[in-house]
Amino acid sequence: MNVGGEQQLVKEWHDLLARHAVVYQTLERELQARHGIGVSEFEALEALACSENTQCRAQDLTDVVHLSQSAASRLIARMERDGFLERAICEADRRGILAVLTEEGRKRHLEAQSTHRSVLARTLRDAG
């Protein structure tokens, strides 16, 4: 790759990072201010709300929220404490833990969904 191509590649990478930061920070600020949850909580709620039987393996939530396993475990514990989900044993694999959306979690997701979509529409258009 020539120097000009390499510089363009690095510029595109930096532009992507900057765009991500703007969108993420705006989402974090507005979800927190309006609904008392952060981006990770919203993404976990969304994954549960869209999953079959509004439940999924805790490990699958780790992949959705893009956190380390330990950070995702703390997130799940916090969300359980806040009443957004419950943990259950996976009947298919007794070693697995399921995260199950509660009525409070469903309610918070529905309340926050329009804020999430509005911020995405606004920031992705502006940042793009």
The string of pLDDT tens digits covering residues 48-80 is 999 988 999 888 888 899 999 899 999 999 999
- Residue with the two structure tokens 């549960």: 48
Strand partners, 85: 101
**Which two tokens mark 126?**
């502006």
CB 124 within 8 A of CB 118: no
- Give the tokens for residue 125: 């258009």
DSSP 95: T
Q: Is the pTM of this model over 0.85?
A: yes
Domains recognised in the chain with CATH numbers: 3-127 (1.10.10.10)
Tens digit of each residue's pLDDT (9 = 90 or more) over 27-52: 999 999 999 999 999 999 999 999 98
* pLDDT tens by residue, 20-29: 999 999 999 9
SS3 at position 56? strand
